[in-house]
């Protein structure tokens, strides 16, 4: 039976089951938006604590001038406690926000159906469990959907509206209307492991861990590169420490398992070992970083060597023409002598700029002396940081000369070991590829994928829009080279990416 009430209008009553952080956050924004709220928790003291918390938040909003006192009083009056599930009988919508255990949620929904009207919509705020599985025990599974808010609810403005296999269209539309009324942005998501945000966020974490696992560099270097070159607010290791490995590792393992070991989503043993060791991040004062008085202790970057030399630099002409021009300007700015010969002179230091390849492969392909060949990543911004990559045969002298001279350009220089795709190339290519496959699976529309990444993950640009900026063909090339060099199926390009790169279409183009 369809609920014909307009969820964007007045007169709406919602029930909330679970008075924890999420439940009280949803109650706060709903009451503030003019919705009547009935909140219930098995622990009556938790319900009272939630009411007191919401009232405190409303008072604070008044004190800071973000809300009128009269409006706060009205919002406070719209929330009332429910002693039992029976008190939710008149609700138009009930949102469940209890512990993340499927059997508990299923039992709750079974009991809830006995007490509410047939046109009452039932929603779960689960962050990881199958909405389809929750709905499967219900007499009317078509009225069940996911309504996933993010913590803290008043500040995180994204809501995933998740349709299970049997969810009726009007249910998702009503929840989307309510989300907008609450001042949040809804994204429509098909029920799938990790939903949208947790799925699209795998690329940053799993590939960052893979780089560390391969011994390419240290966590703080990966984080610095993703901040300074790509513009991320946080790198993968900072993010894992903030979230807590007790949250990140089980989520990574769960999504990987639920996707039947999809290689793109594969975690590394590093996560498991540190999780078992209790190195969870900020909450344990030790994660990928140490924490003292709540502050992250970042190891100092090694100082570039002081080298006096007039050795010239030779710039590879293979690959991207714009990379050659950018590097020429950068070296001139640093006061470096440039070897303009067709081949590098005997004393010259050769610089290659591969996409998805390592310096070893690039040097051999161009017939360069690997002992005097290094690589630079020119795909991303170089205004703040340069990533310099040696190969196993690179001699210390040319390595130190390159390091020293590039540091003379007033930029930070990160020296890393040979890696197919440097750091930023392979992480961003993985993020974009996973986003493309989410679109390919029709889990969410391209625009919603990018919206979710910006609002919930704080990415400066959505992954599909970033793929367009960098060039789909370049991203495809990076992935193809990574797959060819590693033999790992995790780098196989999504059909969504491959087709649009071949046709010259935007990655945001729907079929």
Distance CA(503)–CA(511), nearest Å, equals 13
Q: Report which DSSP code applies to 360.
A: H
**Chain centre to alpha carbon of residue 387:** 23
Q: What is the dihedral of CA 215, 216, 218, 219, to 10 degrees?
A: -100
Partners of 36 in the β-ladder: 13
SS3 144: strand
Distance CA(253)–CA(257), nearest Å, equals 6
Token representation of residue 280: 């969870």
Distance CA(33)–CA(44), nearest Å, equals 25
Give the pairing type, strands 158-163 and 185-190.
parallel
Distance CA(497)–CA(440), nearest Å, equals 9
Distance CA(315)–CA(69), nearest Å, equals 66
Determine which helix (DSSP H) or strand (DSSP E) holds 397, and give its type and residue range.
Answer: helix 396-407
Distance CA(141)–CA(188), nearest Å, equals 18
Token representation of residue 333: 């700015």
Q: Residue 261 phi/psi, 5° resolution? A: 60, 45
Q: What is the dihedral of CA 376, 226, 400, 374, to 10 degrees?
A: -20
Closest alpha carbon to 427 in 492, 491, 335 = 491
8 Å CB contact between 390 and 415 = yes
Token representation of residue 305: 């060597």
64-70-71 Cα angle (round to 5): 75
8 Å CB contact between 208 and 234 = no
281-287-292 Cα angle (round to 5): 80
Find where tokens 């130190």 sit: 400
DSSP 427-449: HHHHHHHHHHHHHHTTSS-HHHH
Token representation of residue 59: 């008072």
Partners of 24 in the β-ladder: none
Q: Active-site residue numbers?
A: 127, 148, 160, 198
């Amino acid at each position: 039976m369809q609920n014909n009430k307009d969820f964007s209008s007045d007169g709406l009553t919602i029930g909330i089951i679970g008075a924890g952080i999420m439940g009280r956050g949803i109650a706060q924004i709903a009451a503030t938006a003019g919705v009547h709220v009935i909140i219930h928790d098995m622990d009556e003291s938790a319900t009272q604590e939630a009411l007191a918390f919401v009232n405190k938040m409303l008072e604070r909003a008044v004190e800071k001038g973000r809300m009128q006192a009269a409006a706060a009083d009205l919002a406070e009056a719209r929330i009332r406690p429910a002693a039992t599930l029976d008190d939710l009988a008149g609700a138009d919508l009930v949102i469940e926000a209890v512990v993340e255990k499927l059997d508990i949620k299923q039992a709750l929904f079974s009991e809830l159906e006995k007490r509410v009207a047939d046109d009452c919509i039932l929603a779960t705020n689960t962050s990881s469990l199958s909405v389809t599985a929750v709905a499967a025990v219900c007499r009317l599974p078509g009225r069940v959907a996911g309504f996933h808010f993010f913590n803290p609810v008043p500040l995180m403005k994204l809501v995933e509206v998740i349709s299970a296999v049997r969810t009726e269209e009007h249910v998702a539309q009503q929840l989307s209307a309510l989300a907008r009324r609450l001042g949040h942005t809804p994204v429509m998501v098909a029920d799938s492991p990790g939903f949208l945000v947790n799925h699209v966020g795998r690329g940053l974490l799993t590939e960052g861990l893979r780089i560390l696992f391969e011994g390419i560099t240290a966590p703080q270097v990966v984080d610095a590169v993703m901040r300074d070159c790509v513009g991320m607010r946080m790198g993968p290791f900072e993010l894992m420490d903030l979230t807590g490995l007790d949250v990140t590792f089980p989520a990574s393992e769960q999504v990987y398992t639920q996707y039947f070991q999809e290689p793109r989503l594969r975690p590394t043993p590093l996560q498991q070992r540190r999780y078992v060791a209790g190195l969870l991040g900020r909450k344990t004062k030790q994660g990928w970083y140490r924490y003292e008085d709540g502050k992250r202790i970042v190891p100092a970057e090694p100082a570039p060597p002081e080298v006096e030399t007039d050795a010239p630099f030779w710039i590879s002409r293979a690959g991207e023409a714009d990379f050659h021009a950018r590097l020429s300007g950068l070296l001139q700015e640093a006061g470096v002598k440039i070897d303009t010969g067709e081949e590098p002179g005997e004393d010259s230091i050769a610089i290659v700029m591969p996409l998805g390849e390592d310096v070893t492969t690039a040097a051999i392909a161009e017939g360069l002396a690997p002992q005097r060949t290094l690589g630079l990543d020119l795909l991303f911004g170089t205004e703040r940081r340069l990533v310099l990559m040696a190969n196993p045969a690179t001699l210390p002298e040319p390595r130190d000369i390159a390091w020293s001279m590039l540091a003379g350009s007033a930029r930070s220089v990160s020296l890393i070991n040979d890696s197919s795709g440097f750091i930023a190339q392979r992480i961003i290519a993985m993020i974009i590829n996973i986003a493309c496959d989410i679109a390919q699976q029709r889990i969410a529309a391209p625009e919603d994928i990018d919206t979710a990444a910006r609002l919930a993950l704080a990415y400066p640009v959505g992954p599909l829009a970033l793929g367009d900026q960098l060039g789909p063909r370049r991203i495809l090339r990076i992935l193809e080279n990574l797959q060819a060099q590693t033999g790992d199926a995790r780098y196989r390009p999504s059909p969504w990416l491959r087709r649009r790169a071949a046709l010259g279409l935007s990655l945001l183009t729907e079929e």
